[in-house]
Structure 1
């Protein structure tokens, strides 16, 4: 519950949005009608009406049940995918399962993504497959995300600090759960090219890059630490509030890995989404703004998504792109710090 409150209190990274470094080139002669722009994509073994995932954010406390119901209704209405928050709470307290399973009740046709942390997978050892399958069964999921949250954990007063064997654990999960898609999901610090290579080799079905630019879990954990008088971790949370690889950078580099990429981290508008798709993302993840809309009004998430998808369609129209595949071929300009990031990463890789 604390995490939700801090996220809604706008615990965002403080630097300017990295999406401002990406410019899409205007096409004065689109040669298509706005209504002809098609947002549909095939992802995670299903057809989606639009390339959007409502990010896994909440569950495990009484307030979450209604919020997940509202988010799921929005996903169902607009034909997009949805994740739930970490299901660790319900594994430890089965009476909380309804705060997650409500998503399937409200969205019988939606692609749902279960969610468990790499820390729990590692701690479970040989019992990890059973735990992961329990998460999937809890919400009748179509895929499962294993979230990678080292930045959050190192600040969190009660955090897990041992990630040894994480790559092998992910590979074992992918083998055990096959053919169910297993997604590696960063939570705000991005995926470096070398990490992308390791995740692809481990058999991940998709990568949720979770880059810097949106909600800062280091800042959230720092604020929680401050509340209990842990000055050391509160200071660390401040220092690491802007830690990580900007979302446009990690999106562009991860897109070369050969598996579907979900661009998440600071995607606030349909224009941001179009930029992410132009950089090679298969889908975009949206979090804080749609959650805020759901909190404020029972149908707020549905209305927010409607506007977001209209912004995306309009931006695609203005680039002359009839679908997502065409948008990936549309000209774009990369400026500022993002250009420097990409140039230096490419130089380091010898590209």
Structure 2
């Protein structure tokens, strides 16, 4: 049952260690400037994405929906996105498209004035392999209308699907269907923890997506998440552990996927320094999911306080880097060390 699965995912993410065993953002160092080039309060954190102005380069990333508990979290996150002028994406809306009872867990987002709202559907549902039941323009319109979205994430989560007992691994026809949707909607392609390669970035660019969210390895491993779910065959537990570290490290994916589209750095973003690290590698904004879900589970005050701290940290790092705005961060020439540097050789 979809509601059970969505509830499982939230519970597991909050109760178990499902993070990558190595966070590759720790290998990215931004050169310090002893003499900054502007006053701290002159640093401009604003960015534009899909034609919408954000007050800070942060996306409250796609996490949840499809259960009563998920609706509560979405409302807290939407309230924060509105208060701080951030972008927000919801979790996969498949549940609500197939069963209206789940709609409210997503549509609560539409009650808040958020500068950029992004819907979410999965690549498998956009593939022709689903015996003629693949999603098209009508379903995307319904997903967008449901939450008052300005665009939509199309998530690429095939690692999770191969581990998940009820996973959908269809992919034939996906690119062709994606091309058709990109003619009518603002689409951002999003990985969910395994990263986007340069080859796939070019395929997605040619299909017409407006931006790429790399969603690399360093944060939540949905392979690990699935390993904690009950499975009669035992395969999810076994393969979930085997493939826990599968994927392209987030900083590496940032470099590989830089093909001339706006980039969103995500996968293991924990604080304002990580956000700034993503910016230094060419990101327009950084996406945060698991960390903010943890804060939301403590209540709105804790969530708002954490976001305020993160924004202050981003401002501080931009200042200490000798930059004055997000775009300046693209020229800071970060130093990549450790396992991440080895990966890039």
Q: TM-score range by the shorter chain?
A: over 0.9
Structure 1, unpaired ranges of 5+? 344-351
Question: Whole-Å Cα distance in 2 between the matches of residues 102 and 127 of structure 1?
Answer: 23
Which stretch shifts more, 3-12 or 127-136? 3-12
> Match for residue 49 of structure 2?
43
> Match for residue 308 of structure 1?
310
Contact 1:70–1:299 (8 Å) recurs in 2: no
Contact 1:83–1:115 (8 Å) recurs in 2: yes
SS in 2 for 1:282: strand
More helix by share: 1
- Deviation track 1:181-234 (CA, whole Å, cap 9, x = no partner) reads 10111100000110011000000111111100001101111211xx23322231
SS in 1 for 2:283: coil
TM-score, length-scaled by structure 2 = 0.94
- Pick the aligned partner of 1:78 from 84, 98, 110: 84
> Match for residue 9 of structure 2?
3
- Per-residue deviation, 1:126: 6.7
> Match for residue 28 of structure 2?
22
> Match for residue 3 of structure 2?
none
- Pick the aligned partner of 1:252 from 241, 252, 255: 255
SS in 1 for 2:212: strand
Question: Whole-Å Cα distance in 2 between the matches of residues 27 and 258 of structure 1?
Answer: 28
**Equivalenced residues, count:** 336
Matched, 1:231 2:234: yes
Contact 2:165–2:231 (8 Å) recurs in 1: no
Question: Whole-Å Cα distance in 2 between the matches of residues 126 and 114 of structure 1?
Answer: 17
Question: Whole-Å Cα distance in 2 between the matches of residues 120 and 7 of structure 1?
Answer: 24
Matched, 1:66 2:68: no
Matched, 1:160 2:164: no
> Match for residue 91 of structure 1?
97
Contact 1:10–1:215 (8 Å) recurs in 2: no
TM-score, length-scaled by structure 1 = 0.93
Question: Whole-Å Cα distance in 1 between the matches of residues 134 and 173 of structure 2?
Answer: 13
Kindly tell me: are residues 233 and 126 of structure 1, through their superposed partners in 2, closer, same or farther at Cα, counting changes over 3 Å?
closer
- Per-residue deviation, 1:297: 1.2
- Per-residue deviation, 1:10: 4.3
Question: Whole-Å Cα distance in 2 between the matches of residues 83 and 7 of structure 1?
Answer: 18
Contact 2:162–2:168 (8 Å) recurs in 1: yes
SS in 1 for 2:297: helix
Contact 1:53–1:285 (8 Å) recurs in 2: yes
Matched, 1:337 2:339: yes
> Match for residue 290 of structure 2?
288
- Per-residue deviation, 1:160: 0.7
- Per-residue deviation, 1:145: 0.5
Question: Whole-Å Cα distance in 2 between the matches of residues 14 and 58 of structure 1?
Answer: 20
> Match for residue 116 of structure 1?
121
Q: List structure 1 runs of 4+ shifted beyond 6 angstroms.
A: none
Provide the aligned C-alpha RMSD in A. Answer: 1.4
- Per-residue deviation, 1:304: 1.2
